[in-house]
Structure 1
Amino acid sequence: MIALEPIDRALLDGAHGAAAARAMAILMRYGEASGARRFVSVQSAHIDGCLYHGPSSIDFTRRFVDLGGRVHVPTTLNVAAVDVTHPEWHCGPPELIPAQSELTELHEKLGCIPTLTCAPYQRMLRPRVGEHVAWAESNAIVFVNSVLGARTDRYGDFADLCAALTGRVPMVGLHCDENRRAQCIVAIPSPDAAAMPRDLYFAAMGYVLGRRTIGQVPLLRGLPGDTTEDELKALGAAGASSGALALFHAEGVTPEADEQDIDGLPILAITAEDLQAAVTSLCPVEPGERVAAICLGTPHYSITEFHALNAAVRGRTPAPSISTFVSTSREIAAMVEADENFTPLRAFGVRLVVDTCTYLAPVVAERNGAILTTSGKYAHYGPGNLQRRIGLMTLDRCIRSAELGTVAS
C-alpha cells in the first residue's frame, strides 16, 4: 500500500488538471508494481520518449496535450530520431522527418524545453548532490547519479513524461539510500599501467565495467585523480550500453565515493588484458581497410571536446571521400559556428549534427567502408543499428585514418 501525501491525492483527484491526474494514475500503477511505499518530489525531468519510435509515441503525448497538460518541473528533451535541421543528410525513411517534427512540437506544447540532447548536464542548471530528478536516457542517468550525485532511477519512455507532468515519482530504486551503496570494489589499472591512451582507456573501461558488474553498484579503485567530466561521461555511457550501468562510485573522483562502507565487499579486478580484449572486440576493422566516415559525439560533444578536436585537425586535410560528423546540442553547435577560432575544424570539413546521434540517425551516405569512432557506446550499438562495420579507436587514429582514407595502423 502506497502512503499518499496531500499533493498525491490532489493530483489524482484532478486538482492540478486532467492531464496531471491521468499521469499520476499511471505513476500509481508504476509505484504499485515496483513496491513503492511513498512518492517523492523531483526537481527536473529529462524525456526520452521524445525520440520517435512509432505512432504510439505521438498518440501518448497528444493525449496529454488534448487534456491541457503542462509539465510541473523544468523538463528537457533527449535526442530525436533525426536531425531536422539538416534533412539533406538523412539517409533513413523520409517519412521519419515529419513524424519526428510533430512529436517534438507536441512536447513543446506541454512546456518541455527542446534541448534535444543526450547530455543535458552540459547545457542546463545542473541538479545538486542529493537532489531527486526524473531523468531518462542511459548515459544521462549514469552521469547524474554518479558524477553529479543527484538521484534518479531508470526512467524509460512515457514514465518520464508522467513524472514531468506531476513532479512526483515512486520512491524506489536509486532514489533510495540503500540502493546507492557500493556492492563491490573494482580494482583497475591506470591508463599508464594499461599502456593505453586516455580516450581509448575510458571507453574500454566503461565497456568492461558494465559487463562485469551487471545489476551491481561498483566502487572503482584506481581511476586517475585528474579524470575529467568528459572522461567520466565516456566511461558511464559505455557501461550503460554494455551492462545497464546506472550508478558507479570512483574513489577520490565522484561525490558519494568517500561515504561508502566498503568493509567486506567483494573485490573484482579489471586488467590491462581485459581492456585490450574489449578494444579488440569493438574494433574489428583492419589497417588498410577503406573508411567511409568518422562519427564522434556519442554522447554529445562538449565545448571542451570541440576544442580538442579543433587542435587535433589543425593543418590536416582529410581524403576527399571521407566525411566527419560530430553530434552535439543546438547550443554548443551555435557556439562552435560563431567562434572564428574553430577555423581548423571547418577547414577539415567537420559537419555538426544536432538534435540526434548518428548511431541512431543514419547520415553516412557512403556505403563502402567502415565508420570509425572514439565512443564505446557508438561501437556497441552501431553495428546493429546501422548494419555497418564500426571501429573504436583513439581520436588521433581516427584523424590519421581520415587523412589516408583507409584505417591507419
Structure 2
Amino acid sequence: MRLTDDEKRMRDGAEGEAVAAAMDLLVRYGDALGAERLVETRNVAGTMTQPSPAKAKLVEEGGWAKAYAVINLDCDRDIEIPRMKVPTCQLQHGFAGDAAGLTHYADSSIRLQDDAESYFSDRGVNILATCTPYQVGNLPVRGEHCAWMESSAVVYCNSVLGARTNCEGASSTGAAALTGKIPYWGNHLPENPHATHLVRADVTVDGFQEWGMLGYFVGELVQEARPAVVGKLGQPDLADLKHFGAATATSGGVELYHLPGITPEAPTLEAAFGGARITEPVSYGARERAAVYDALNSRGTSRDVDFVLLGCPHASLDQVAQLAARLEGRRLHADTELWVMMPRALSSVAFRNGYTRTITAAGGRVLTDSCPAMSRAAPPGTRVFATDSAKQAHYLPAILGIEAWFGTLTECVDAALTGRWGGGLR
C-alpha cells in the first residue's frame, strides 16, 4: 500500500508509539482489503468504553491504556495513549446508571464504564453513547470520508447523509482516531456507491412500521448489495429512514441504499445506477409484505407480554413525544414493563418538555446509552416482549431466548397497558 511521507513518519514513530501501532494496524488492514492507499478522515465513531470481562481483565493488568492498545490497536506493548488526533465519538455502550437495579446487568460493569468515560473523554473522545450519533451532534456532510461502526449508523451515514464510510470495527476505528486515516476502499471509492438492485413497492409504504417491513424485505433480498427503491413510497421522516436502514442492515448487510428523489446520491433512478443499465425490478407487494410480517412475528406464541421495548435505533424526540401522548393519564399493566431507549443528550430535552414525566407517571422508563441487545439484559423474568423495531424483533429472541411480537407504536402501547398482545397486520 502506498503511504505518503506523513504516513510513513507516523508509522515510523515520529508521533509516538500509539500512533505507530495505529499506522501498522491500518497498513495490515488495508493490505488485506487490497486498498492501494489511505484516505483522510476527520470523523470517527467507534467504541472504547463499553465493559466486558476481557476488558476488565486488561484494565486490571495495565489500565485503560492496556485495554485500548490490545482491543483498539491490536498491540500487546505497554504504550501511552495520547489525545485522539481527529474528532471521535463513542457509540452506544453498556447500560448506564439510570438502568441500575432494573436487570441482572452488573453494577461493576456500570462502574467500569464510568471509569472508561473519564479516561477517554480526557483523551478527546466525545461520549455521545448512542447508535444514532447523527441525532446528537455528529452530522457529517455529503462526500465526507468517515470511519464509523454500528450497522444502523453506517447505513444512515452513507444513504441519508451522503457521507462515505465502510462498516468498521473496534480496531480500525481505534487506529483511525489516532491517525486521521482509514483504508481507501469499498464505499470510499466514487465508483462503488451505485445501485445494484431495483425494488419496486407495489403496496403503499408510509409510516414507521411499513418502512421497517420494507427494509427487512430489501435487506434479505440484496444482502450486502446496494438497492434502489421506488414505487408507492410516502415521504419518510428521520425515524422512518433510520428504521428502514436498520432493517436492511439486520436481515442483510446493506451499507448504502438509494431512494430516488429523497436520498442525496440519487436525484433520479438513472443517477442511482450511475448511468449503468437499470436492473429489472423486484416487486414488494401484498404477499411479500405479509411474509415479512409473519417472519418478524414468528418468534411469538404466548400473547402475555412482560416487556415492551421502544427506541431501536435510539428514539428521536418526535418518537418520545408520540409515546408520551399515548400514555397521558394512563397506567401500565402491573406485570408489564415499558422502556424507551434514547440518546442521553436528547433525554435531557425530553425531561424539559415533560415527556419523561408523563412516561414515568404511567410506569414506563426512559433509559439511555444502550439497549437490551447491546447489554444482553432485560427485566428479570421476561419471557415475551413486544417492539416496534424490526431490528430488535430479529435479534433479541436469539440473544436472550425470549419470544417477540412486532407491531406499531399503538399496538405496543396497548400491550404495555393491558399485558396482552393484540396486534395484527392491517
* TM-score computed with the length of structure 2 as normaliser: 0.88
Aligned to 2:19: 20
Q: Tell me the CA shift for residue 301 of structure 1.
A: 0.7
User: How far apart, CA to CA, are the structure 2 residues paired with 1:256 and 1:239?
Assistant: 18
Match for residue 360 of structure 1 among 364, 374, 383: 374
What amino acid is aligned across from residue 310 of structure 1 in structure 2? A
Aligned to 1:378: 392
Q: What stretches of structure 2 of length at least 5 have no aligned partner?
A: 60-65
User: How far apart, CA to CA, are the structure 2 residues paired with 1:223 and 1:358?
Assistant: 34
- Asked if the contact 1:31–1:170 (Cα under 8 Å) also holds between the matched residues in 2, the reply is yes
Aligned to 1:182: 195
- Asked if the contact 1:118–1:299 (Cα under 8 Å) also holds between the matched residues in 2, the reply is yes
User: How far apart, CA to CA, are the structure 1 residues paired with 2:338 and 2:305?
Assistant: 11
With 80-89 and 30-39 compared, the bigger mean Cα shift is at 80-89
User: How far apart, CA to CA, are the structure 1 residues paired with 2:143 and 2:300?
Assistant: 46
Match for residue 67 of structure 1 among 68, 80, 94: 80
Aligned to 1:78: 91
1:188-220 CA distance string (max 9 Å, x none): 13436xxxx722211111111111001211111
User: How far apart, CA to CA, are the structure 1 residues paired with 2:240 and 2:232?
Assistant: 11
Matches within 5 A, 1:4-403: 4-56=3-55, 59-61=66-68, 66-191=79-204, 198-222=207-231, 224-258=233-267, 259-260=271-272, 261-284=275-298, 289-340=303-354, 343-362=357-376, 364-367=378-381, 369-403=383-417
**Partner SS for 1:360:** helix
What amino acid is aligned across from residue 183 of structure 1 in structure 2? T
- Asked if the contact 1:206–1:239 (Cα under 8 Å) also holds between the matched residues in 2, the reply is yes
- Asked if the contact 1:61–1:103 (Cα under 8 Å) also holds between the matched residues in 2, the reply is no
1:170-194 CA distance string (max 9 Å, x none): 10010111211111111113436xx
User: How far apart, CA to CA, are the structure 2 residues paired with 1:342 and 1:88?
Assistant: 19
1:103-162 CA distance string (max 9 Å, x none): 444433432111111100000141000011101111000000000000001101211111
- Asked if the contact 2:203–2:285 (Cα under 8 Å) also holds between the matched residues in 1, the reply is no
Q: Tell me the CA shift for residue 285 of structure 1.
A: 6.4
Aligned to 2:422: 408
Q: Tell me the CA shift for residue 222 of structure 1.
A: 2.1
Q: 1:373 to 1:262 in 2, by over 3 A?
A: farther
User: How far apart, CA to CA, are the structure 2 residues paired with 1:272 and 1:262?
Assistant: 30
Give identity over the alignment, percent. Answer: 28
1:279-330 CA distance string (max 9 Å, x none): 1121236697211111111111111111121222223322122211011111
- Asked if the contact 2:321–2:355 (Cα under 8 Å) also holds between the matched residues in 1, the reply is no
User: How far apart, CA to CA, are the structure 2 residues paired with 1:215 and 1:287?
Assistant: 31
Aligned to 2:62: none
Q: 1:340 to 1:101 in 2, by over 3 A?
A: closer
Q: Tell me the CA shift for residue 238 of structure 1.
A: 1.1
With 136-145 and 2-11 compared, the bigger mean Cα shift is at 2-11
**Partner SS for 1:8:** helix
**Partner SS for 2:367:** strand
What amino acid is aligned across from residue 176 of structure 1 in structure 2? L
What amino acid is aligned across from residue 422 of structure 2 in structure 1? A
Q: What stretches of structure 1 of length at least 5 have no aligned partner?
A: none
* TM-score computed with the length of structure 1 as normaliser: 0.92
